[in-house]
Amino acid sequence: MQNIKVNGDRLWESLMEMAKIGSTEKGGVCRLALTDEDKAARDLYVKWCEDAGCTVSVDEMGNIFARRAGKDDSLPPICTGSHIDSQPTGGKYDGIYGVLAGLEVVRTLNDLNYETNAPIEISAWTNEEGSRFAPAMIGSGVFCGEFSLEEGFACVDKDGATLGDELKRIGYDGDLKCAPRPLGAFFEAHIEQGPILEAEEKTIGVVQGVQGIRWFEIEVLGMESHAGTTPMERRKDALVGVSRMVSEAHRIGEAAMPDGRTTIGYMEVHPNSTNVIPGRVFFRADVRHPDANFLDGMEDEFHSACEKIAVELGLELNFNRIWYSEPVIFDEACVNAVQKAANGLGHANRPITSGAGHDAVYVSRIAPTAMIFIPCEDGISHNEIEEATPSDLAAGCDVLLNAMVARANA
C-alpha cells in the first residue's frame, strides 16, 4: 500500500482541541512539564489513544506508549512520537504535532482496516523542552540510557519541586521499566522551527541529522553593596560581569556563522533589588554546532572569556557543563523511507539538518531513526505566535504514514 493519506481535517481538529489546554492570550500554549496542564493534556491524549484501540502503558519516567497490534506482534514496533510539554510561551504545534500525527497514523490505518506486519507504537516523551526541569529531553534520555532513572527523578524546578515527586503528584509515575528495548525504527514529525523550508517553498524537510548542543550552568559571585554609597571603582558587580559574558557568547556565535548558535535565555539575579549591587548571578548558556570539534572550540573560547572577565572584575566564577547532546546523523534507510514517501506523494522537499534538539536524538542511539519537518510561518517557534498550515501538517503526516507502513511491512 503506497501513497495513502491521512484525514487532515481530523488531525487539525485534534491539534486545535489539544491547544485549548494551557492556551494563552496570543494563541499559544503554556504546558510546562508535569504541571496540571500537562496532566490534562496527557489524560486527553491517553483517552484518544484508547478510543483508537491502542494498548497504553506508562513507564517510570512518565513516558506514554500507545501500541497498535501488528500481524506479527513479536516483531519490534515501528515507532513515532514527540512530546506534549511546552515552553512557558510556547506554540501549539511544537512537539504535540509529532504525538498527534502518530495518533492520526493509527486512526487512518483503522479507517482503512489495514493491519501492518509489525506493530505501530506512538510515544509521548516526558520533559522534552527542559524548560521546567533541566536538562532537556530527559524522558527519552533515561529511556535510551543517557541518564539514570535517579538522575531523571532528581531534576529540580526553580521552586524546588523534583521531577520524581511531580510525576507522582499528577499520577504518571508508571510501572513499566524505563530502559532501552528493541524498536524496529523511530520516525518523528515536527515543525521545522526555522525559516528554510518556507523560504524555499518546500513542503517537507528530509532531516539528515541534528547538530550538537551543550548547556552550561554558570554562577558568578561578587559583593552586594549599597547602590548609592559604593563608588563605581570599588564595586564587585556580578551582573556587570555577566553582561560582558553574554556579549562574549554572542560574539562567539557570530564568529561561528552560519552553523554556530549561542544563546543566554535564563538568568537569576540576587538579591534582585533596585538599589542593591548584584552579588550573585546564575545563568544558563546554550551553545550549538553540527561539528563536534568546532563545538569544542566554542566551549573552550567561551569558558576562557568568562574566566578572564571574572579575574578582571574580581569576581568568582563557577562554570559547569550540565548537558551535551552530540551531533547526530540519522539512519540512511529511515531517511530514504522519508525521502521515498515525500517523492511518492509529490511533495517538494529538501535535505535539512535540525538546529533544535529532539527526542529522536536519543532514540537514534538504540534504533534506526529519521525525522520529518514541515514549514512554520516565518520560522518562528518557542513563541505563542508559532503557526503552521493545515495542508502542511497533513502533508507531513502523510509522509509519516507511508514511511512507517513501508518499514512495518519490510
Boundaries of every domain in the chain: 8-211+327-408, 213-325
| Residues in a beta bridge with 320 | 217
Q: What distance in Å separates the CA atoms of residue 310 and residue 242, rounded to the nearest whole number?
A: 9
pLDDT band at 101 (very low <50, low <70, confident <90, very high): very high
Determine if the peptide bond prior to 195 is cis (ω within 30°).
no
Report, as an integer, the average pLDDT of 162-172. Answer: 98
Residue pair 392/374 in contact by the 8 Å Cβ criterion: yes
Residue pair 281/220 in contact by the 8 Å Cβ criterion: yes
Q: What distance in Å separates the CA atoms of residue 129 and residue 131, rounded to the nearest whole number?
A: 5
Per-residue model confidence as pLDDT tens digits over 198-218: 999 999 999 999 999 999 999
E strand map for 6-140: 55-58, 64-68, 78-83, 120-125
Instruction: Quote the pLDDT of residue 191.
Output: 98
Please determine, for residue 325, whether its predicted confidence score (pLDDT) is greater than 90. no
Query: What cell does 347 get?
Result: 511533495
pLDDT band at 312 (very low <50, low <70, confident <90, very high): very high
Instruction: Quote the pLDDT of residue 288.
Output: 95
Cβ contacts of 13-22, under 8 Å, gap ≥ 24: 14/48, 14/100, 14/103, 14/104, 15/92, 15/93, 15/96, 15/97, 15/100, 15/393, 16/92, 17/44, 18/44, 18/45, 18/92, 18/96, 18/100, 19/92, 19/96, 22/86
Q: What distance in Å separates the CA atoms of residue 401 and residue 104, rounded to the nearest whole number?
A: 9
The fold of 8-211+327-408 is: Aminopeptidase (3.40.630)
Q: For the packed helices 238-255 and 292-313, what is the interaxial angle rounded to 10 degrees? A: 150
> From the CA atom positions of the chain, what is the Rg in Å?
22
> What contacts 354, CB < 8 A, 6 or more positions away?
207, 209, 210, 211, 371, 373
Residue pair 256/298 in contact by the 8 Å Cβ criterion: yes
Specify the residue for cell string 496570543.
26
- The mean pLDDT value of the chain amounts to 97
H helix or E strand, kind and range, residue 393: helix 390-408
Per-residue model confidence as pLDDT tens digits over 178-203: 999 999 999 999 999 999 999 999 99
- Supply the CATH classification number for the domain 213-325: 3.30.70.360
Residue pair 30/88 in contact by the 8 Å Cβ criterion: yes
Residue pair 161/127 in contact by the 8 Å Cβ criterion: no
Residue pair 217/320 in contact by the 8 Å Cβ criterion: yes
Instruction: Quote the pLDDT of residue 25.
Output: 95
